[in-house]
């Protein structure tokens, strides 16, 4: 029995209305931002570029959607409707038993697509920036010495980076998906058990970098002030390692943990993005290292790592911010691609990539195209927004 | 096409009347040029002088109608050969650019297309504007290359720009500009990027070409000495307005505007001596475009400022003589012959014991020419056998052009490089082989450097205060954060900057202020030796005097030895007690300042002295122009390094044996094969007329 549907116009209007918290938040943030734009630095200058402002608005749209997901979504992301005929229900269907409007239809397991897209934004907006951030830590920690020292260090690291870039990453992902590789084996050390697999190994390596990076920062800056160094270094190490054992080894003593699928995703994404960041940071380092203030730092006896982290990196932030925005976009797409290969998150996860993957088989019929269409639109708008934002930032930084 | 231009010799080539140019940016309208008028008659060379930001480049771009996206001529007219330029259509403008009006820019490398051979670029001018065939164009181009005194024109026609030196490139650009025999040639700081001796050659070339071809020229520069040597008339600009215009000798000797007077008084000229006639800096700063005063723009900095007369409204240009105008409201009230108030005249500094001693210093770099490090390894002998001393509170100047090894020497002193051989003794420590990582904090803080480019000398992402405090931390000065904070504020006082600057970011400071911070940084650890690498050359003329004075004041108080690296002989003469002249890694001459500037000279010193433009009409200079270019330090010839350009070279001696060091008395040493008697008979290069400057 087919459920009742509402008309297309009503669907559109209701869609707009349902996002009311987001519109309100956008209005408040953008207008208040306008008044303090002088103090907002790079982001304040976006107000001079319509393109950049549009990008910012789109990105903020999804950020607020993620924040207000509980208010906007109608059902939970995993809730299924058991009313007959609700599987793959068309756009605008009303569940006859509960009376709930499935605004964008239902998927093949009778879950509300609208709610899943909304909750999916949370996952995308947490994983993509976090993975990009870790990729930045890895890329910077390797790119700075490569650009600063040049010589054999540079040759060796560039070779490694090129190797990773040249290697067909899809094959790597397939490798990571196979059960032998993916499922961890447990090693018993008496007091505790340590799971181990290739993805866990990779994650163990990559997640060390933020800790190393921060520790290097404190050590170089406070070398001559041991107290400050102790405090900052101590806090970083304690919190960092605590989170580390949780995220990487699923240790129960830590507050956060990732399930194996999420870990795989992180490992794969960071591996794929780091060489690109490495190259950019290396190039910027080689350019900035010729400036007089770097020579001034050298002549007062600063350590090379101090110069790299405190003299060179902060002054490279312009192009890096732009790249960061773009890279989040690429990572989001990558999450979708991984979802395709089954290397995504849990199969029932509402992240857009997985939704597109599951909806893939249904695109042939126009009556079921909505299973993949809405997550694809969401993905597309987010990446578009990030691109426009990056474009606007770059343009504004070049203008007077 | 017929452009309706008048060739009547009484019609000015260029007549600019009440020109107003503004830039429209994000922050609104910025007036760049205001009420500007200038007339250039056929055959004249007009000099346009002013500091950075005064609008002189904007004027020349405006003449070319080439202001870019956000610049616009708000009002006023520019008449080229009688016809108003705003009446030209786009095609007509394209027609006259390059053929009737040509421009030569500052950076020769940026003006030439790196992907095209020189010959093709030159031919383009002729085939485009005169419709000549390729062969005819090539012939004309080759003969023009000859006219600009480039040897072997055919080889140059077939070369790419990067295969030529800076001086050669600029000659090519000049020849390109002159190829189609323009009526008007605009030169925007054409020699600023070149070495002094090369600059002298270009200047002489420009003078000869002006005579030969009868081209009118507008020469934009901030170097008053250069303008004095090349131009017939001069227009002085300040903050977007022309403040004085007239014949060159009239303006220099009988100036009628306080800014012109202040400018001339803040430049070191050969007669100036830092103790008897100190440089007087123009106080204050250039006003920001939106902070310009209601009346005279120069008012706030002028010692003759009077609220009633000077701040009532726009001051117009008034005629003070034959073709001599000035924009001063109090022309008749000021006594122009009175000297500018000089302030305190200091006692000469007493020099102490030897602090730094350099013995036989050698620095060679190995350069391999093959890929992957294979191939022949050649050595660049950057420094060869340098020996000299410097005493406490003394200022030793190291003078030489690019490639002479002075920057390498500075790097060895700072520990950024280690010497190949030789010793540098500081106190009782040999620092020549001690890289900076291995030096302890005390040694590091006692040898510090002031860098050349003030715009790059500070980390743009840290506040001024944090940067200075970091320096103090590295030098292990101060017992606590509060103590260091105090010391940092004291350093700001030392360089005469307000204490609020500690919270500012470098981008909020001007070039002169940034350089003061650089000086504060260098002196933070009470160093024994400060190496100043061209510290004022990137600054405006009026700011140079203030920063120079600051350096001498600090030196007087802290009794630091200063090693002053420069190519500006005027400043060197003013500041230093002793001078070391370097050429291609070797010391050619060293001695007390008076001994260097008077004969006997090393032939290179003679050429250097003659090459530096002097902004003083009472100085007569002997003309010694060096042929050729600076040779490459990669393939030095045996014998004296100066043999390729020396007019006294003795074949058989100078090209095979190193010249001996001749003692001329009182620490004055010349390394030359010429006999001391011959050297003593040389005529002085710079002669100061009357006793005006000496007293």
pLDDT digits (tens, 9 = 90+) for A139-185: 999 999 999 998 899 999 999 999 988 888 778 777 776 777 777 78
Say if the Cβ atoms of B436 and A298 lie within 8 Å: yes
CA atoms within 13 A on the CB side of B630: 24
Q: Could B459 and A311 be called an inter-chain contact, meaning their C-beta atoms sit closer than 8 Å?
A: yes
The answer to whether the Cβ–Cβ distance between B415 and A299 falls below 8 Å is yes
Task: Measure Cα distances from A19 to A78, A122, A257, A370, A386 in Å.
Answer: 20, 15, 31, 19, 20
Q: Report the chain B residue with the minimal C-alpha distance to residue A293.
A: B457
By mean pLDDT, which of A201-215, A280-294, B370-384, B643-657 is the weakest? B370-384
HSE-CB at B489 with a 13 A cutoff on CA atoms is 8
What average pLDDT does the segment A380-384 reach? Answer: 91
For B541-603, give the secondary structure using H, E and C.
HHHHHHHHHHHHHHHHHHCCEEEEEECCHHHHHHHCCEEEEEECCEEEEEEEHHHHHCCCCCH
Q: How many CB atoms lie within 10 A of CB A78?
A: 14
Which pLDDT value is given to residue B427? 83
pLDDT at B373 over 60: no
The pLDDT value recorded for residue B692 is: 45
The predicted-structure confidence for A218-273, as pLDDT tens digits, reads as follows 999 888 888 888 888 899 899 888 888 888 887 777 777 777 777 878 888 888 88
Do residue A299 and residue B437 have CB atoms under 8 angstroms apart?
A: no
The residue in chain B having the minimum alpha-carbon distance to the alpha carbon of residue A303 is: B437
Apex A365 CA angle, A364 and A370, nearest 5 = 95
As a whole number of Å, the end-to-end CA separation of chain A is 64
Q: Where are the beta strands (DSSP E) in B344-493?
A: 354-368, 377-391, 395-399, 421-426, 429-430, 447-450
Mean pLDDT of all residues in B311-315: 81
State yes or no: pLDDT of A284 exceeds 90. yes
Question: How far does the CA of residue B508 sit from the closest CA of chain A (Å)?
Answer: 14
- Nearest residue in chain A measured CA to CA from B436: A301
Pick from B289, B315, B182, B237: nearest CA to B16: B237
CB atoms within 10 A of CB B319: 11
Percent of chain B with pLDDT over 70: 94
| Cα dist from B18 to B13, B30, B310, B311, whole Å | 17, 17, 20, 21
- Prior bond of B36 cis (ω within 30°): no
User: pLDDT by residue (tens digit) across B506-520?
Assistant: 888 888 889 999 999
Residue A312 has pLDDT above 90, yes or no: yes
Q: What is the rounded average pLDDT of the residues B313-342? A: 80
Report CA-CA distances (Å) from B638 to A370, B360, B557, B646, B655: 84, 18, 46, 15, 6
Beta-carbon separation of B436 and A311 below 8 A: no
Q: Out of B36-50, B84-98, B470-484, which region has the weakest mean confidence (pLDDT)?
A: B84-98
Between A48, A292, A315, which is nearest B451 by CB?
A292
- Set of chain A residues whose Cβ sits within 8 Å of the Cβ of B69: none
In the structure, what pLDDT confidence band is assigned to residue B275 with cuts at 50, 70 and 90?
low
- pLDDT at B376 (0 to 100): 65
Question: Chain A: which residues have CB within 8 Å of chain B?
Answer: 48, 224-225, 291-293, 295-302, 310-311, 314-315, 317, 399-400
Residues A98-149 pLDDT 10s = 778 888 888 888 888 899 999 989 888 888 899 999 999 999 999 999 999 9
Question: Could you read off the pLDDT of B401-435 as tens digits, one per residue?
Answer: 877 888 889 889 988 888 888 999 988 888 888 88
Average pLDDT of span B668-689: 82
Q: Are B358 and B424 in contact (CB under 8 A)?
A: yes
Q: Does the beta carbon of B474 lie under 8 angstroms from any beta carbon of chain A?
A: yes
What CA–CA distance (Å, rounded) separates A102 from A374?
Answer: 13
ipTM: 0.80
Give residue B370's pLDDT: 54
**Alpha-carbon radius of gyration of chain A:** 24
Whether residue B473 and residue A314 make contact (CB cut-off 8 A), yes or no, is no
- Name the residue in chain B with its Cα closest to that of A292: B457
Residue A299: which of B70, B414, B441 has the nearest Cβ? B414
Give me the pLDDT at residue B695, please: 36
What average pLDDT score do residues B236-242 get? 90
What is the C-alpha to C-alpha distance for residues A189 and A187, in angstroms, rounded to an integer?
6
Contact A292 B461 (CB under 8 A): no
Phi first, then psi, for residue B152 (nearest 5°) are 55, 65
- What pLDDT score does B694 carry? 41
What distance in Å separates residue B457's CA from the closest CA in chain A? Answer: 5
| Residue B172 φ/ψ, nearest 5 degrees | -60, -45
Contacts of B471 in chain A (CB under 8 A): 300
A vs B: CB pairs below 8 A: 60
Q: What distance in Å separates residue A174's CA from the closest CA in chain B?
A: 38
Q: What percent of chain A has pLDDT over 90?
A: 25
CA distance B695 to B684: 20
Task: Give the minimum alpha-carbon distance from B373 to chain A in angstroms, rounded to a whole number.
Answer: 11
CB contact under 8 A, B473 and A301: no
Q: Does residue B110 sit at the A interface (CB-CB below 8 Å)?
A: no
Q: What is the mean pLDDT of residues B240-255?
A: 89
pLDDT in tens, B537-554: 878 777 888 888 888 888
pLDDT band for B456, please (50, 70, 90 cuts): confident
Distance from CA of A88 to the nearest CA of B (A): 53
Return the DSSP state at B497: -
Q: State residue B432 phi and psi, 5-degree precision.
A: -65, -35
Query: Do A299 and B461 count as a contact with CB atoms less than 8 A apart?
Result: no
Which residue from B441, B444, B451 is facing A295, i.e. has the nearest CB? B451
pLDDT tens digit string along B592-619?
Answer: 988 888 888 888 888 888 888 887 787 7
Distance, C-alpha B483 to centroid of its chain: 40
**How far apart are the CA of B290 and the nearest CA of chain A, in angstroms?**
16
Query: Minimal Cα–Cα distance from B455 to chain A, Å?
Result: 9
Confidence band of B339 (pLDDT split at 50, 70, 90): low
Radius of gyration of chain B from Cα atoms? 27
Could B518 and A296 be called an inter-chain contact, meaning their C-beta atoms sit closer than 8 Å? yes
The rounded Cα B687 to chain-centroid distance in angstroms is: 22
Which of B414, B445, B459 to probe by mutation at the A interface, max A CB count within 10 Å? Answer: B459
Candidate from B445, B449, B461 with C-beta closest to A314 = B461
Selected residue with higher pLDDT from B13 and B4: B13
Of B53, B50, B174, which is closest to residue B118 (Cα–Cα)? Answer: B174
Q: Please check whether residue B37 is in contact with residue B317, taking contact to mean a CB–CB distance below 8 angstroms.
A: yes
Can you tell me whether residue B133 is helix, strand or coil? coil
pLDDT at B130 over 80: yes
Residues from chain A contacting residue B449 (CB–CB below 8 Å): 296, 299
Note whether A292 contacts B456, CB cutoff 8 Å. yes
């Amino acid at each position: 029995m087919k459920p009742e549907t509402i008309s297309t116009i009503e669907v559109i209007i209701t869609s707009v209305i349902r996002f009311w918290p987001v519109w309100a938040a956008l209005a408040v943030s953008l207008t208040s931002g306008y008044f303090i734009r002088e103090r907002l630095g790079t982001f304040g200058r976006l107000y001079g570029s319509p393109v950049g402002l549009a990008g910012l608005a789109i990105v903020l749209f999804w950020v607020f959607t993620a924040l207000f997901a509980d208010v906007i979504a109608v059902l939970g992301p995993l809730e299924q409707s058991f009313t007959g005929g609700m599987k793959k229900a068309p756009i605008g269907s009303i569940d006859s038993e509960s009376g709930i409007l499935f605004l964008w239809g239902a998927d093949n397991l009778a879950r509300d697509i609208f709610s899943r897209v909304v909750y999916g934004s949370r996952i995308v907006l947490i994983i993509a920036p976090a993975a990009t951030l870790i990729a930045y830590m890895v890329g910077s920690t390797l790119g700075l010495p490569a650009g600063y020292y040049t010589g054999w260090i540079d040759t060796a690291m560039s070779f490694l980076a090129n190797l990773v870039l040249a290697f067909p990453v899809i094959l790597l992902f397939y490798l990571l998906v196979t059960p032998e590789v993916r499922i961890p084996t447990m090693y018993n050390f008496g007091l505790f058990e340590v799971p181990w697999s290739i993805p866990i190994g990779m994650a163990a390596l990559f997640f060390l970098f933020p800790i190393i990076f921060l520790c290097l920062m404190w050590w170089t800056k406070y070398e001559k002030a041991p107290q400050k160094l102790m405090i900052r270094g101590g806090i970083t190490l304690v919190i960092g390692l605590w989170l580390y054992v949780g995220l990487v080894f699923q240790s129960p003593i830590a507050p956060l943990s990732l399930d194996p699928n999420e870990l795989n995703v992180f490992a794969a994404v960071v591996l794929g993005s780091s060489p690109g960041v490495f190259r950019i940071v290396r190039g910027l380092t080689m350019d900035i290292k010729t400036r007089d203030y770097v020579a001034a730092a050298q002549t007062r006896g600063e350590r090379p790592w101090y110069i790299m982290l405190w003299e060179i990196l902060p002054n490279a932030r312009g192009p890096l911010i732009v790249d960061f925005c773009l890279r989040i976009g690429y990572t989001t797409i990558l999450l979708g691609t991984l979802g395709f290969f089954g290397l995504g998150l849990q199969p029932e996860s509402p992240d857009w990539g997985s939704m597109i993957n599951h909806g893939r088989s249904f695109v042939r019929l126009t009556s079921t195209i909505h299973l993949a269409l809405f997550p694809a639109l969401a993905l597309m708008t987010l990446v578009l927004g990030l691109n426009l934002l990056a474009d606007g930032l770059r343009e504004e930084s070049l203008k007077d | 096409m017929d452009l309706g231009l008048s060739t009547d010799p009484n019609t000015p080539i260029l007549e600019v009347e009440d020109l107003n140019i503004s830039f429209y940016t994000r922050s609104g309208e910025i007036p760049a040029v205001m009420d500007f008028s200038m007339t250039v008659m056929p055959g004249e060379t007009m000099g346009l002088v002013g500091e950075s930001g005064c609008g002189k480049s904007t004027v020349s771009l405006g003449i070319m109608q080439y202001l870019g996206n956000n610049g616009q001529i708000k009002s006023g007219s520019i008449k080229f050969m009688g016809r108003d330029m705003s009446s030209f259509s786009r095609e007509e403008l394209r027609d006259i650019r390059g053929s009737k009006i040509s421009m030569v820019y500052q950076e020769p490398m940026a003006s030439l297309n790196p992907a095209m051979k020189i010959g093709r670029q030159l031919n383009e001018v002729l085939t485009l504007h005169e419709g000549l065939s390729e062969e005819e164009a090539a012939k004309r181009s080759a003969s023009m290359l000859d006219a600009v005194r480039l040897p072997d024109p055919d080889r140059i026609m077939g070369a790419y720009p990067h295969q030529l030196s800076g001086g050669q490139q600029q000659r090519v650009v000049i020849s390109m500009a002159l190829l189609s025999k323009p009526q008007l040639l605009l030169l925007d700081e054409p020699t600023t990027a070149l070495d002094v001796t090369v600059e002298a050659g270009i200047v002489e070339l420009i003078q000869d070409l002006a005579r030969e071809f009868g081209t009118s020229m507008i020469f934009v520069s901030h170097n008053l000495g250069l303008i004095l040597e090349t131009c017939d008339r001069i227009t002085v600009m300040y903050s977007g307005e022309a403040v004085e215009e007239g014949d060159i000798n009239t303006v220099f000797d009988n100036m009628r505007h306080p800014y012109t007077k202040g400018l001339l008084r803040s430049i070191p000229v050969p007669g100036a001596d830092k103790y008897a006639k100190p440089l007087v800096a123009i106080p204050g700063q250039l006003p920001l475009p939106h902070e310009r005063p209601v009346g005279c723009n120069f008012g706030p900095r002028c010692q003759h400022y009077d609220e009633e007369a000077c701040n009532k409204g726009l001051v117009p240009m008034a005629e003070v003589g034959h073709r001599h105008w000035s924009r001063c409201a109090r022309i008749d009230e000021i006594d122009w012959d009175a000297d500018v108030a000089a302030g305190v005249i200091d006692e000469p500094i007493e020099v102490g014991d030897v602090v730094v001693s350099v013995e036989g210093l050698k620095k060679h770099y190995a350069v391999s020419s093959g890929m992957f490090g294979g191939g022949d390894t050649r050595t660049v002998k950057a420094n060869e056998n340098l020996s000299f001393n410097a005493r406490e509170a003394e200022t030793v100047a190291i003078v030489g052009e690019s490639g002479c090894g002075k920057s390498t020497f500075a790097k060895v002193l700072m520990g950024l490089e280690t010497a190949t051989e030789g010793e540098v003794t500081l106190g009782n420590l040999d620092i020549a082989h001690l890289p900076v990582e291995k030096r302890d904090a005390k040694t590091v803080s006692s040898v510090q450097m002031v860098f050349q480019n003030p715009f790059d000398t500070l980390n743009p992402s840290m506040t001024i205060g944090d940067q200075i405090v970091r320096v103090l931390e590295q030098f292990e000065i101060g017992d606590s954060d509060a103590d260091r904070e105090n010391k940092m504020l004291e350093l700001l006082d030392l360089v005469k900057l307000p204490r609020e600057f500690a919270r500012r970011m470098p981008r909020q400071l001007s070039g002169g202020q940034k350089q003061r911070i650089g000086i504060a940084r260098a002196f933070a650890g009470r160093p024994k030796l400060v190496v100043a690498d061209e510290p004022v050359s990137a600054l405006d003329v009026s700011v140079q005097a203030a920063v120079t004075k600051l350096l001498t004041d600090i030196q007087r108080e802290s009794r630091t030895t200063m090693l002053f690296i420069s190519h500006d002989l005027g400043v060197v003469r003013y500041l230093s007690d002793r001078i070391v002249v370097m050429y291609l890694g070797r010391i050619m001459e060293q001695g007390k300042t008076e001994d260097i500037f008077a004969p006997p000279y090393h032939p290179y010193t003679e050429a250097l002295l003659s090459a530096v433009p002097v902004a003083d009409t009472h100085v007569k200079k002997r003309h010694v122009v060096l042929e050729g270019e600076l040779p490459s330090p990669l393939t030095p010839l045996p014998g004296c390094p100066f043999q390729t350009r020396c007019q006294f070279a003795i074949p058989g001696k100078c090209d095979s044996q190193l010249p001996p060091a001749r003692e001329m008395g009182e620490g004055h040493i010349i390394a030359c094969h010429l006999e001391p008697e011959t050297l003593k008979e040389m005529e002085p290069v710079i002669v100061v007329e009357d006793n005006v400057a000496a007293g």
